[in-house]
Amino acid sequence: QVQLVESGGGSVQAGGSLRLSCAASGSTYSGYCMGWFRQAPGKEREGVATIRNDGRTRYAESVKGRFTISLDNAKNTLYLQMNGLKPEDTAMYYCAKRLGRFGFCSLDPSGYNYWGQGTQVTVSS
């Protein structure tokens, strides 16, 4: 059973930075997608960034150039470096994973089977 545990959320002022971490365990399958998703109050969950097991990444237009997703395979940990944070980035951030081999890793959350509990990011103006 895959388990995902996020950490690193917090409160920052606009323009600040945060790094989220997601510790993964429970699967040795070599093919997968992992991603960061977020959900603000009253809004649907949306994809922020995804990464395939070979390192190929995909970003939402709203975060391109500001956020960087990365994977440390030795530590089984997924990261999201967030720079230039804006108040509209305020949301609960979730780590997710889907097993298998895919042509690309979708930003659509509906395809992901495993989810962490989430970590809150609050950006004040």
pLDDT at 71: 95
CB 17 within 8 A of CB 86: no
Contacts of 76 (CB under 8 A, 6+ apart): 23, 24, 25
CB 21 within 8 A of CB 91: no
pLDDT at 70: 98
pLDDT at 23: 97
DSSP 94-116: EEEEEES--SS--S-GGG--EE-
pLDDT at 30: 82
User: Tens place of pLDDT for every residue, the chain, 125 residues?
Assistant: 899 999 999 999 999 999 999 999 987 778 899 999 999 999 999 999 999 999 999 999 999 999 999 999 899 999 999 999 999 999 999 999 999 888 899 999 999 999 999 999 999 99
Nearest to 21 by CA among 87, 74, 89, 69: 69
pLDDT at 26: 87
pLDDT at 102: 87
Nearest to 26 by CA among 52, 49, 4: 4
